[in-house]
């Protein structure tokens, strides 16, 4: 739209015609107060806080609904406007309970701020306030009507934003109340968006209410540990007994890819971290066959001794390593390097939730062909194939809905069964069961209306998931690459599934999907075994046959996931690193208590290849990060720690390859690289950023925009950076398909998620009985 | 059955067929009905609109906007269907005229609706009646059915190429739904919350199509204008205020009732001659000239007051919906103000802060004040509250509550002061005033 | 989300006549939802109030959520979620009726029936309600019994009005038996 010029308080402003005055003013630094106006939601003009004087108009006008036009003149700052704002806050406070001292929102309440800025310090109301009892709508959401100012933000974010429409309004006038869809209970996605968006303390969170005062917490912004979308969350932390405990998780810092959004898991599912069931001491199996608490020294010694023995006696190929979908990139990188260079084995894998290796191969040599979450969120057209993002990728679903709603993006949904996102779709295609693989050919033919519409798009983001594996991924990608202007997003399941694959937790591929046979930069690894290792299933099979001497499991639970008979592990020496005594850890010989994602630093990569910084927030006595445990274990095994983790000062020129690098006579490449990039070496072997530096240096596709990453922004990793390679099995893939309230093994330790799940099941039963 | 009244000063145009059985279609035709629409069918839309403008008919719903002008705002071309919406929500206290129209002359509303449709190019009209008017809805529904049967509605009306349909609709008890945009919401099956304007209904209205909304009396007047000619109709009233209107005289007059008088008729005369004076020979204390939302007038203010939109406006009040509420000298103005505000508190839709909270507090304060627990500062606070609602609410309901309240305090301050210091209400019937309020 | 469409279509709770009327109503307007308010009113006339079953049935017929129906219904003062008496006496006490004895009339009804605002007599025959202006201002004071108007009343006519409804109820009862 063409720009127009108008005047606000004598200042000339310019904005595209049709911009809302309130937005134009805010951009120009002129503050217009509002309660009901919320960017991205429908207009209300209900709170009347934004009244301004417009020249030649008899009545005051609402800035939130006035579209600017050429030559208009406004006054936003005058005794008349001041009085209007003051009167509005006075009126609101009349019935407001003013229970700020015990209100969760006290200190972070828009009504308090507004009263402080524009309101009056006195009240002339002598009457009793209207009272209503507080209601609990679900384990997650409580409603306190007297505090509610009826701005309708909650109703709108639930309906327009979430497409759930679980909130409404009942009664009329001053008896109006916000009402949930099941009488006095809420049957919904329990995302808690209504709580976040409430400007006051009317909607409060079941997990946080009455726990603390906002200013008693400190806040750390990090990444959610649950699904593969990677929402930025802000943890509210409190010091308790020398440890930092998480008491709230929300989205007050709206700078992430998730903008306003957070789902139930991100908002309420953090409590596993504070669970009583957390491991806090290493455990070692004693002579009687029972796990008993041990010191770190003992546990490390037992593990190191046995691993060294087995490696010595039967070779590295007798040892298997299983990594995690939730540990950081640095930990994953370190794990595979530890496996390959210390344990001398390529028997390394993780619970693959999708076939990223196939995706990498399909895109080999291509740049800029993957779509980040932000790209999806602003794409003019998206083809969504399979899956159900509403349940499994809540942020993706939010992004697609918002894109369709606010930017009129065209969404095409091809699915074997109906999904909720079809409501936003411009066209839908019902795919026959098992028919996904034929889709590229079908689209190319352009016979159906669906295919025609898709082909007519100038650019397209194709979002798909584990329904495509191996050759099917290649086919689909090839179709898109041929069309041009098509980018892809390939969905995995957990917070760092993509990172696990990218970091080479694969038996036949090095980090960045580099083939073992052409190790390129990784040739500097000391003693890298060249033969491909066993994948996860093969390792477990081998263990069952008594052919695997040792198995190291870091943050994974194959026993539960694969329904394994624990007896299968009885002849294998098992070392587990975990935060809980999982079904797998229960049968380990040594168990190390690990830190959760909220208790450490590093980076994670979401399903879309967006890399984000993980910041240490909580602190838990007795645990160590997986990173530190691995380094200590390697040390205990007598490995060269400096070769494993590049830390400490090394004389760049003086070191002629004795300490690093296989080709003697060569300078320390890492040190050279650091110097060339103007970076300081890391001082501690436990600093994950030492591994991060090496990742950036060595892993194709991870030459990340460091400055942006470290300042808290998401940056892109490229998956197709390495040349292609032949790959082993794709049948080791076992998607998790976690829903809105489940999160693998981890989710089972969240009381909040359990309660919500039970609540929802009850709602379902009752509504089915209706 | 509401009693019909008459007075020699009346000029019977709209009420001409009242009490004559015109709710039956044959009788209506016998009395000259459906001739105007036939006339209009032979004319162009522009001609109809120009006649309407020439008639100087101003909307009888309250705001007094020129009807011809309103119709002319509807775009000639529209991608979406256009609609005529007849506002029979009649809920402003003091107003009961549409009641009589639906009861005695429903076909005039039907005929007027068809003419409005011809003028703007609509093929569908709605007649919305408040839910309490169920017995009237039956009468209107019967009239509509009869009109269909005669071919006056439906496909090819009156043997022409024109089509026109009418759908009746009922409310379910909500004053705010009388506001035009809330009316459309209600008709669309939603809560009666007004819409953000612009866009105005003439451009984006019912179901998103251009819509004209007129009061039932306005619409019922339309056929009469074409029957007698716009000039002649206009000549009955005062300049810029054409014709007659139905005045609903109520309260403390000897002969309350609905009288059809020319626009500009003297208010004092209306009370003392048409209405037979104050009941029981008492003295006039005040009069609310146009329904409960209009500011009260004192006896000295009505001496030479002609009842048209412009003169009443100049006197500081509004002609409104034609409800003239007469108050004698034995009435407690505080109680009257309280009952007035209680109504608006009950009817506020609750959408915007100043109306929702303001009416609630005004009611609470006035209630306490009237019960004798007021303080001197309350009087100013009540006025402060009312003045801070004025002009700042989402729709005019807030003003409708604030305007009369501010006027009561301003014009009867002394009477408010008489309630102070625990003194019993000077007008209480038996000792301590008590009042149940809805 | 929750797969609620597994539910079978329930049989309607309305009489065949009303059901047929509703079928026609939802077809009548350019948009189905326009039928909502009349449907609720007619349903209330038949069932007595908006029970959960009424809400569910109407929601299903129009294709909106029950929450939507409640949001709308709770806005309108004639719609109720609890039963009223067979004859719901609505006494207007708004200004015009007040000036001509609306409160005295209301008080008389309270005494005669022994119930307060929104109360129901033990036999379920009458309920009493103080209401806002009902559009009978020039014939004040006025009341509505269900949908019937009675105007230009004075308190002494209260017993007669009540008696007439009592006999009407009795006659209906006998006709039924
Ligand atoms: C709160 C409020 C209530 C109203 N109630 C009615 C009503 O009951 N009947 C009516 O005709 N107009 C009512 N109006 C006026 C309408 O908004 C609208 O102006 C009118 O129907 C237009 O018709 P007219 O131009 O024929 O007067 C009301 C306005 C407001 C603000
Ligand atoms: S609950 Fe909060 S967001 Fe919702 S209307 Fe009330 S104050 Fe507004
Ligand atoms: S005031 Fe009672 S009917 Fe109008």
Q: Do C67 and A767 touch (CB under 8 A)?
A: no
Query: How many angstroms separate the CA atoms of B110 and B216, rounded?
Result: 10
Q: What is the CATH classification number for the domain harbouring C36?
A: 1.10.10
pLDDT digits (tens, 9 = 90+) for A310-339: 999 999 999 999 999 999 999 999 999 999
Residues C61 and C123 in one domain: no
Q: What is the pLDDT of residue C11?
A: 79
For A285-298, write each residue's pLDDT tens digit.
999 999 999 999 99
pLDDT value for A728 = 56
As assigned by CATH, the class of the A3-77 domain is alpha beta
B93 interfacial to chain C (CB closer than 8 Å): yes
CATH numeric code, B244-328: 3.10.20.600
Comparing A433 with A591, which gets the higher pLDDT?
A: A591
Residue B329 contacts C, CB cutoff 8 Å: no
Across A521-532, average pLDDT: 92
Decide if A273 touches B, using CB distance below 8 A: no
Q: Which CATH architecture has domain A81-276?
A: 2-Layer Sandwich (3.30)
Hey, which residues 88-117 in chain C have their CB within 8 Å of chain B? 93-96, 98-100, 103, 106, 117
- Count A/B contacts: CB-CB distance under 8 Å: 94
Block means of pLDDT (10 residues each) for chain B, 438 residues, are 95 98 98 98 98 98 97 97 98 98 98 98 98 98 98 98 98 98 98 96 98 98 98 97 98 98 98 97 97 98 97 97 96 96 98 97 94 91 95 97 97 94 73 42
Beta carbons of B350 and A174 less than 8 Å apart: yes
Reply yes or no on whether the pLDDT at A8 is more than 80.
yes
Name residues whose C-beta falls within 8 Å of residue B215's C-beta, 6 or more positions apart in sequence. Answer: B59, B60, B61, B62, B86, B87, B98, B321
Q: List all residues 6 or more positions away from C42 whose beta carbon is below 8 Å from its beta carbon.
A: C18, C21, C22
Looking at the complex, does the CB of residue C131 fall below 8 Å from at least one CB of chain B?
yes
Query: With 80 as the cut, is the pLDDT of residue A56 above it?
Result: yes
Does B258 sit within 8 Å of C76, measured CB to CB?
A: no
| Per-chain mean pLDDT for chain A | 93
A693 interfacial to chain C (CB closer than 8 Å) = no
Answer whether C125 touches B (CB < 8 Å): no
Q: Which subunits sit against B, judged by 3+ Cβ pairs under 8 A? A: A, C
Which of C135, C143, C151, C153 has the highest number of chain B CBs within 10 A, making it the mutation to test binding with B? C135
Where is average pLDDT lowest: A189-193, A662-666, B40-44, B396-400?
A: A662-666
CA atoms within 13 A on the CB side of C153: 30
For residue A664, pLDDT over 90 is answered with no
**Chain A environment of B347 (Cβ under 8 Å):** 172-173
Q: Is B93 in the pocket of ligand 3 (CB under 6 A)?
A: yes
Percentages helix, strand, coil for chain B (3-state, rounded to 5) are 45, 15, 40
Residues C59 and C136 in one domain: no
Q: Terminal CA-to-CA distance of chain C, rounded, Å?
A: 51
Question: Which of the listed CATH numbers 3.40.50.410, 3.40.50.740, 2.30.42.10, 3.40.50.720 matches domain A283-353+498-647+689-703?
Answer: 3.40.50.740
In a domain, C6, yes or no: no
Per-residue pLDDT for A130 more than 80?
yes
What does the pLDDT read at residue A196? 95
CB A391 to CB C65 under 8 A?
Answer: no
Tally of domains within chain C: 2
- Identify the residues whose C-beta falls under 6 Å from ligand 1: B 59-63, 65, 67, 87, 89-92, 175-176, 178-180, 213-215, 218, 395-397, 400
Which of A163 and A661 is assigned the larger pLDDT?
A163
What DSSP letter does each residue of A299-351 carry, written as one string?
HHHHHHHHHHHHHHHH-GGGEEEEE-SSS-HHHHHHHHHIIIIIS----EEE-
pTM of the model: 0.94
Residues B391, A60: C-beta atoms closer than 8 Å = yes
Inter-residue contact B68 to B57 (CB < 8 Å)? yes
Answer with the one of C25, C40, C73 that is the final residue of a domain. C73
Facing residues of A135 across strands? A143
Q: What is the mean pLDDT of residues A569-585?
A: 96
Name which of B381, B366, B393 is nearest A84 in CA terms: B393
Neighboring chain A residues of C67 at a CB cutoff of 8 Å: 165-168, 179-181
Q: Strand, coil or helix: what is B294?
A: coil
A568 pLDDT band, cuts 50/70/90, is confident
Q: Say if residue A744's pLDDT is above 60.
A: yes
> What number is the average pLDDT over the span A499-511?
96
Which CATH number applies to B333-431? 1.20.1440.230
Q: Is A198 in the pocket of ligand 2 (CB under 6 A)?
A: yes
* CA distances, A768 to each of A475, A641, C6, C65, C70 (Å): 43, 60, 8, 15, 20
Is C94 near ligand 3, meaning CB less than 6 Å away? yes
Among C50, C73, C96, the domain boundary falls at C73
pLDDT > 70? residue A29:
yes
Chain C environment of B133 (Cβ under 8 Å)? 135
Is B376 exposed, middle or buried, given 0-12, 13-18 or 19+ CB atoms closer than 10 A?
Answer: exposed
What is the three-class DSSP state of B306? strand
Instruction: Give the H/E segment covering residue B143.
Output: helix B134-149
Ligand 3: centre distance to CA C92 (Å):
6
- The pLDDT of A246-252, averaged and rounded, is 93
Spacing, Cα A130 to ligand 2 middle (Å): 16
Domain boundaries, chain B: 14-236, 244-328, 333-431
The span from the CA of B284 to the CA of B275, in Å, is: 12
Chains near A (3 or more Cβ pairs under 8 Å): B, C
Per domain, the residue ranges of chain A are 3-77, 81-276, 283-353+498-647+689-703, 374-491, 648-681
Please state which CATH class domain B14-236 belongs to: alpha beta
Q: State the pLDDT at residue A730.
A: 65
Number of continuous H segments (helices) and E segments (strands) in chain B: 17, 10
User: Given a cut of 70, is residue A652 above it in pLDDT?
Assistant: no
Alpha helices (H) along A69-179: 79-95, 110-118, 153-156
Query: Which residues in chain A are closer than 8 Å to B191, comparing Cβ atoms?
Result: 169, 172
Query: Which pair of tokens denotes residue A501?
Result: 């694959």
The Cβ of residue A711 has, within 10 Å, a number of other Cβ atoms equal to 10
Q: Is A195's C-beta closer than 6 angstroms to any atom of ligand 2? A: no
Looking at beta carbons, which residues of chain A come within 8 Å of C36? none
Q: By the CB < 8 Å criterion, does C75 face chain A?
A: yes
Q: Which protein residue has the closest C-alpha to ligand 2 atom 4?
A: A154
Superfamily of domain A374-491: Dimethylsulfoxide Reductase, domain 2 (3.40.228.10)
In this structure, the residue with its CA closest to atom 1 of ligand 1 is B397
Residue A726 scores a pLDDT above 90:
no
CB A178 near ligand 2, within 6 Å: yes
Residue A434 burial by Cβ neighbours in a 10 Å radius (0-12, 13-18, 19+): exposed
pLDDT score, position A487: 98
Taking 80 as the threshold, does the pLDDT of residue A374 lie above it?
yes
Give pLDDT tens digits for A600-628.
999 999 999 999 999 999 999 999 999 99
Exposed/middle/buried for A290, CB within 10 Å: 0-12, 13-18, 19+?
exposed
Distance A88 CA to ligand 2 centre (A): 16
Task: Report pLDDT for A710.
Answer: 94
State the pLDDT at residue A198: 97
Residue A663 has pLDDT above 50, yes or no: no
Same fold, B244-328 and B333-431: no
Yes or no, beta carbons of A91 and B191 under 8 Å apart: no
Same domain, C159 and C121: yes
Is C126 a domain residue? yes
Q: From the alpha carbon of A143, which atom of ligand 2 is closest?
A: 1
Q: Which residue of B has its CA nearest to A87?
A: B388
* pLDDT score of A124: 75
Q: Is the ipTM of this complex over 0.95?
A: no
Q: At A551, phi and psi to the nearest 5?
A: -135, 125
A74 or C176: which leads in pLDDT:
A74
Residue A727 binned pLDDT confidence (cut-offs 50, 70, 90): low
Nearest to B381 among A49, A124, A169 (CB): A124
Residue C74 with chain A: CB contacts under 8 Å = 170-172
Any alpha helices (H) in A623-722, and if so which ranges?
A: 626-636, 641-644, 669-676, 688-698, 706-710
What's the pLDDT score for residue A769? 62
Does residue C67 sit in the same domain as residue C92? Answer: no
Residue A713 forms contact with C (CB below 8 Å): no
Predicted confidence at residue B425, as pLDDT, reads 80
Residues A495, A497, A502, A503, CA torsion sign: positive
Name the strand (E) or helix (H) holding B244. Answer: strand B244-251
Neighbours of C, requiring at least 3 CB pairs below 8 Å, are A, B
Asked if C103 and C154 sit in the same domain, the reply is: yes
Judged by DSSP in three states, A518 sits in coil
Chain A positions touching B394 (Cβ under 8 A) are 45-46, 48
Q: Which domain range does residue C56 map to?
A: 16-73
One domain for residues C59 and C127:
no
Residue of C nearest to B138 (CA): C147
Q: Which of A48, A126, A150 sits opposite B392 (nearest CB)?
A: A48
Cross-chain residue pair B359–A45, CB shorter than 8 Å: no
Q: Are residues C95 and C133 in the same domain?
A: yes
The pair phi, psi for residue A107, each rounded to 5°, is: 95, -20
Residue A127 sits at the chain B interface (C-beta within 8 Å): yes
| Cross-chain Cβ contact B250/C96 below 8 Å | yes
Pick from A303, A317, A289: which is nearest to A547 by CA?
A: A317
Q: Which chain A positions have a beta carbon within 8 Å of C4's beta carbon?
A: 764, 767-768
Residue nearest to atom 2 of ligand 2 (CA): A198
Could you tell me if the CB of C97 is within 6 A of ligand 3? yes
CB atoms C134 and B132 under 8 Å: yes
Residues C63 and C98 in one domain: no
- Of C91, C92, C131, C152, the one to substitute when testing ligand 3's pocket (max ligand atoms within 8 A of C-beta) is C92
Range of weakest confidence among A361-375, A649-663, B273-287 = A649-663
Task: Say if C108 falls within a structural domain.
Answer: yes
- pLDDT band at residue A544 under the 50/70/90 scheme: very high
């Amino acid at each position: 739209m063409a720009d127009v010029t108008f005047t606000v308080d004598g200042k000339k402003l310019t904005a595209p015609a049709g911009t809302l005055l309130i937005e134009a003013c805010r951009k120009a630094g002129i503050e217009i107060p509002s309660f009901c106006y919320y960017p991205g939601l429908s207009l209300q003009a209900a709170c009347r806080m934004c009244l301004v004087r417009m020249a030649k108009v008899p009545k005051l006008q609402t800035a939130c609904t006035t579209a600017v036009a050429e030559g208009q003149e406004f006054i936003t700052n005058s005794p008349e406007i001041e009085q209007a704002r003051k009167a509005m806050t006075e009126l609101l406070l009349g019935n407001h309970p003013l229970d700020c001292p015990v209100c969760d929102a006290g200190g972070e309440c828009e009504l308090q701020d507004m009263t402080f800025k524009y309101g009056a310090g006195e009240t002339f109301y002598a009457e009793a306030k209207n009272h209503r009892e507080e209601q609990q709508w679900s384990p997650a959401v409580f409603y306190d009507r007297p505090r509610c100012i009826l701005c309708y933000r909650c109703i709108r974010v639930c309906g327009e934003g979430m497409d759930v429409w679980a909130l409404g309004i009942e009664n009329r006038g001053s008896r109006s109340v916000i009402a949930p869809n099941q009488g006095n209970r809420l049957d919904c996605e329990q995302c808690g968006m209504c709580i976040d968006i409430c400007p006051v303390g009317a909607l409060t969170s079941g997990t946080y209410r009455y726990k603390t005062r906002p200013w008693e917490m400190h806040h750390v912004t990090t990444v959610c540990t649950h699904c593969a979308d990677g929402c930025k969350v802000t943890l509210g932390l409190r010091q308790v007994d020398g440890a930092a405990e998480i008491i709230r998780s929300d989205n007050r810092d709206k700078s992430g890819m998730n903008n306003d959004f957070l789902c139930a898991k991100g908002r309420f599912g953090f409590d596993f971290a504070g669970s009583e069931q957390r491991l806090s001491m290493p455990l070692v199996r004693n002579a009687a066959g029972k796990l008993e608490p041990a010191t770190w020294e003992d546990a490390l010694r037992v593990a190191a001794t046995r691993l060294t023995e087995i490696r010595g006696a039967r070779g590295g190929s007798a040892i298997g390593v299983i990594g995690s979908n939730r540990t950081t990139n640095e930990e994953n990188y370190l794990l595979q390097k530890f496996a390959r260079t210390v344990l001398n084995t390529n028997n390394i894998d993780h619970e693959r939730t999708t076939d990223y290796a196939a995706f990498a191969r399909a895109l080999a040599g291509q740049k800029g062909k993957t779509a980040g979450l932000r790209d999806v969120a602003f794409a003019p057209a998206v083809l969504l194939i399979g899956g159900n993002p509403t349940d499994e990728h809540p942020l993706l679903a939010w992004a697609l809905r918002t894109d369709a709603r606010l930017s009129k993006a065209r969404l095409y949904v091809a699915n074997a069964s109906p999904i909720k996102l079809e409501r936003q779709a411009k066209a839908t295609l019902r795919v026959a069961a098992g028919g996904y693989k034929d889709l590229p050919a079908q689209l190319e033919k352009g016979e159906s209306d669906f295919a025609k519409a898709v082909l007519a798009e100038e650019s397209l983001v194709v979002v798909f998931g584990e329904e495509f594996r191996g050759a099917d991924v290649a086919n689909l990608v090839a179709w898109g690459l041929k069309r041009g202007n098509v980018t892809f997003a390939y969905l995995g399941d957990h917070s760092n599934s993509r990172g696990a694959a990218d970091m080479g937790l694969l038996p036949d591929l090095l980090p960045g999907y580099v083939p073992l046979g052409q190790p390129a930069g990784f040739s500097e690894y000391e003693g890298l075994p060249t033969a491909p290792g066993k994948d996860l299933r093969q390792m477990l099979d081998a263990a069952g046959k008594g052919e695997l001497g040792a198995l190291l499991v870091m943050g994974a639970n194959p026993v539960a996931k694969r329904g394994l008979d624990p007896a299968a592990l009885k002849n294998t020496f098992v070392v587990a690193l975990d935060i809980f005594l999982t079904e797998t850890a229960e049968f380990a010989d040594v168990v190390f208590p690990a830190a959760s994602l909220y208790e450490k630093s590093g980076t994670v990569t979401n399903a879309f290849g967006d890399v984000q910084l993980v910041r240490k927030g909580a602190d838990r006595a007795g645990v160590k990060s997986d990173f530190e445990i691995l380094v200590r274990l390697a040390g205990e095994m007598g490995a060269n720690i400096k070769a494993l983790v590049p830390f400490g000062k090394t004389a760049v020129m003086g070191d002629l390859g004795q300490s690093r690098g296989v080709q003697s006579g060569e300078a320390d490449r890492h040190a050279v690289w650091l110097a060339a990039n103007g970076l300081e070496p890391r001082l501690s072997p436990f600093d994950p950023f030492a591994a991060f530096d090496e990742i950036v240096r060595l892993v194709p596709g991870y030459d990340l925009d460091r400055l942006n990453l470290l300042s808290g922004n998401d940056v892109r990793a490229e998956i197709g950076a390495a040349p292609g390679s032949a790959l082993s099995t794709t049948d080791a893939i076992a998607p998790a398909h976690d829903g809105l309230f489940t999160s693998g093994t981890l989710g089972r330790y969240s009381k909040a998620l359990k309660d919500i799940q039970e609540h929802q099941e009850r709602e379902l039963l009752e509504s089915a009985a209706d | 059955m509401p009693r019909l009244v008459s007075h020699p000063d009346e000029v019977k145009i709209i009420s001409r067929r009242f009490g004559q059985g015109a709710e039956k279609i044959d009788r209506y035709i016998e009395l000259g009905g459906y001739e105007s629409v036939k006339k209009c069918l032979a004319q162009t839309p522009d001609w109809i609109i120009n006649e309407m403008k020439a008639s100087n008919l101003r909307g009888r719903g309250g705001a007094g906007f020129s009807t011809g002008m309103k119709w002319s705002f509807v775009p000639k071309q529209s991608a979406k269907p256009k609609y005529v919406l007849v506002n029979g929500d009649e809920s402003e206290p003091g107003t009961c005229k549409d009641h009589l129209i639906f009861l005695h002359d429903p076909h005039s509303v039907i005929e007027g609706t068809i003419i409005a449709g011809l003028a703007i190019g609509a093929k569908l009209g709605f007649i919305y009646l408040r839910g309490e008017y169920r017995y009237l809805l039956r009468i209107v529904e019967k009239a509509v059915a009869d009109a269909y049967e005669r071919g006056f509605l439906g496909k090819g009306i009156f043997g022409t190429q024109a089509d026109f349909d009418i759908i009746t609709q009922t409310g379910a008890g909500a004053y705010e739904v009388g506001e035009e945009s809330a009316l459309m919401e209600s008709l669309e099956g939603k809560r009666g919350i007004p819409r953000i304007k612009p866009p105005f209904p003439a451009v984006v209205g019912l179901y998103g199509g251009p819509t004209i909304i007129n009061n039932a009396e306005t619409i019922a007047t339309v056929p009469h204008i074409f029957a007698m000619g716009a000039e002649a109709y206009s000549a009955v009233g005062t300049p810029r205020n054409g014709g007659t209107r139905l005045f609903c005289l109520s309260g403390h007059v000897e002969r309350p009732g609905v009288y059809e008088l020319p626009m500009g008729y003297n208010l004092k005369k209306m009370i003392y001659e048409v209405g037979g004076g104050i009941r029981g020979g008492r003295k006039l204390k005040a009069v609310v000239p146009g329904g409960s939302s209009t500011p009260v007038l004192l006896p000295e203010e009505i001496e030479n007051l002609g009842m048209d939109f412009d003169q009443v406006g100049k006197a500081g009040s509004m002609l409104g919906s034609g409800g003239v509420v007469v108050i004698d000298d034995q009435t407690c103005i505080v109680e009257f103000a309280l009952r007035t505000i209680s109504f608006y508190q009950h009817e506020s839709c609750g959408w915007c802060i100043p109306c929702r909270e303001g009416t609630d507090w005004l009611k609470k304060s006035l209630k306490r004040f009237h019960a004798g627990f007021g303080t001197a500062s309350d009087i100013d606070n009540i006025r402060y509250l009312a003045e801070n609602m004025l002009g700042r609410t989402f729709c005019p309901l807030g003003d409708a509550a604030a305007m009369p309240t501010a006027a009561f305090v301003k014009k009867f301050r002394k009477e408010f002061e008489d309630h102070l210091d625990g003194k019993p209400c000077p007008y209480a019937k038996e000792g301590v005033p008590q009042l149940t309020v809805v | 989300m929750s797969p609620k469409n597994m539910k079978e279509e329930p049989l309607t709770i309305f009489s065949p006549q009303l059901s047929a009327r509703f079928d026609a109503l939802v077809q009548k307007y350019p948009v189905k939802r326009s039928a909502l308010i009349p449907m609720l009113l007619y349903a209330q006339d038949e069932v007595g109030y908006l029970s959960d079953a009424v809400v569910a049935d109407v929601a299903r017929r129009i294709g909106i959520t029950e929450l939507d129906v409640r949001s709308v219904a709770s806005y309108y003062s004639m719609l109720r979620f609890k039963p009223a008496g067979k004859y719901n006496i609505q006494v207007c006490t708004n200004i015009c009726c007040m000036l001509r004895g609306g409160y005295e009339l209301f008080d008389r009804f309270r005494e005669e029936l022994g119930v307060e605002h929104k109360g129901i007599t033990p036999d379920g025959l009458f309920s009493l309600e103080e209401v806002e202006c009902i559009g009978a201002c020039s014939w004040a004071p006025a009341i509505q019994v269900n949908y019937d108007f009675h105007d230009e009343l004075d308190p002494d006519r209260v017993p007669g009005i009540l008696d007439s409804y009592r006999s009407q109820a009795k006659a209906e009862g006998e006709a039924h038996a």
